[in-house]
Structure 1
Amino acid sequence: MAHDSKEIDEPAPAKLKLYNYWRSSCSQRVRIVLNLKGLDYEYKAVNLMKGEHFHPEYEKLNPIHFVPTLVDGDIVVGDSYAVILYLEDKYPQHPLLPKDLEKKALNLQVASIVSSSIQPFHGVPRLSFVEAKFNDDERLKWTQHYLGKGFTALEKLLKDVPGKYATGDEVLLADVFLVPQVHAAITRFGIDMTAYPRLSRAYAALCELPAFQDALPERQPDCPSTA
């Protein structure tokens, strides 16, 4: 049987590459999405503590020096929110945004609260700046304040939403953003989650899923053995 030579010679698609840092909650979000969608990828570690995100080669990929950055062939996408929406558009398996407009808006709202009103207040650049101006104790209080403010808003937003996950019984965009944020709050900043029963319930259920377990910071290849 004759085969089309063009079809035979066509190169395989380039493997996805994710430049990320083990403890970055933004990186963790993208790892969860890649796992949920069943996408194989090459893990490219960027050590924020060693300033590798300021190296000229990384700056070519991400001029604002943040993680994560996704490389998909010739396409380079920085910022976790943009990366996730790109993956959502290109890889429709396990959709993260529901068709129902009200539920879709709720998921986008949760993701936006986490990405714009919580996570930036404990990112490495901002914490370093606060610690330089004050001290480590003040830095922790400052971070706990903004985490608490954000979690209080999310708890009120989701308290009457039924289902075992953030916005129902399906794993959606809100869950992808919620889990890394709660994980960081508990493990890094000593937040008592008993004040947020709705968030805690969703978090516990989601942490039982392999896609979330495999994305945990402590399971990444660049996680220090002492972490």
Structure 2
Amino acid sequence: MILYDYFRSSAAYRVRIALNLKGVAHERREVHLVEGAQRSETHLARNPQGFVPALDIGGGHILTQSLAIIEWLDATYPQPRLIPADPIARADAMAQALLIAADIHPLNNLRVLKALETRFGADSDARGDWYRHWVSEGFAALEALAAARRADGPFLGGVAPGIADVLLVPQMYNARRFDVPLDPFPTLVAADAAACALAPFAEASPERAKPA
């Protein structure tokens, strides 16, 4: 199994965490987003969107989109389960995960930040303000959801990390990179700390994944 990856990609970071939690052996191959390797013909043949992650599972099958990959991993390697089986618990967990994947992350990924600069003349201060605004707005909603629905245990998933925690940790990492104030989000900060104390999360961190 080969993971086409970039160490600072939030979406790829999610998949690294999930693979580690499942204990699935894989090889990582770096696709350098800042240098534009994602737009190469070779990578576009793997993923026509030119994104990472892409997971080559053999047999001519390459999976894309982090949530789709994680769902496949959960179906193929059921333990530990990341997406609850109970329909209500599943809907709650996916609502939190999608708040990050669909509402926060797309507004703040590399191509959007570049477009703000090249097409709309935003300087670094304006890009930072943009980033912090949308993360803070999303985190406010996620904090309310998480605080209301949190089960017993330190994680958004309760006593064990689940899909929402897998998505939260990379977004919290990026929030700190861009100096997003986190004091208003104590539930998220606590869940992030609990997850990052676990080896599968720590070993997936950009510091560990960064090429030598």
Q: Provide TM-score, normalisation by structure 1.
A: 0.88
Aligned counterpart, 1:105: 91
SS of the aligned residue for 2:83 comes to coil
How do 1:1-227 and structure 2 match up within 5 A?
16-73=1-58, 74-132=60-118, 133=120, 134-160=122-148, 161-162=150-151, 163-186=153-176, 188-222=177-211
Deviation at 1:100, TM superposition (A): 2.4
Q: Runs of 5+ in structure 1 lacking a partner?
A: 1-15
Cα distance in 1 between the residues matched to 2:73 and 2:146: 26
Cα distance in 2 between the residues matched to 1:200 and 1:152: 12
Offset from partner CA, 1:72-103 (integer Å, 9 cap, x none): 00211111111111111112121111222221
Deviation at 1:111, TM superposition (A): 1.0
Cα distance in 2 between the residues matched to 1:48 and 1:124: 8
Offset from partner CA, 1:121-166 (integer Å, 9 cap, x none): 2211000001222211111101110000110000010113232101
SS of the aligned residue for 1:218 comes to helix
> Match of 2:8, as an amino acid?
R
Cα distance in 2 between the residues matched to 1:167 and 1:96: 8
> Match of 1:57, as an amino acid?
T
Q: Provide TM-score, normalisation by structure 2.
A: 0.95
Deviation at 1:58, TM superposition (A): 0.5
Deviation at 1:221, TM superposition (A): 4.1
Aligned residues: 207
SS of the aligned residue for 1:18 comes to strand
Q: Structure 1 stretch 141-150 or stretch 98-107: which is displaced more?
A: 98-107
Percent identity, aligned pairs only, is 37
**Does the CA-based 8 Å contact 2:71-2:83 persist in structure 1?**
no
Cα distance in 2 between the residues matched to 1:124 and 1:190: 17
**Does the CA-based 8 Å contact 2:13-2:206 persist in structure 1?**
yes
Cα distance in 2 between the residues matched to 1:221 and 1:142: 26
Cα distance in 2 between the residues matched to 1:136 and 1:221: 24
Q: Runs of 5+ in structure 2 lacking a partner?
A: none
Change (3 A) 1:200 1:221: closer
Over the aligned positions, Cα root-mean-square deviation in angstroms equals 1.1
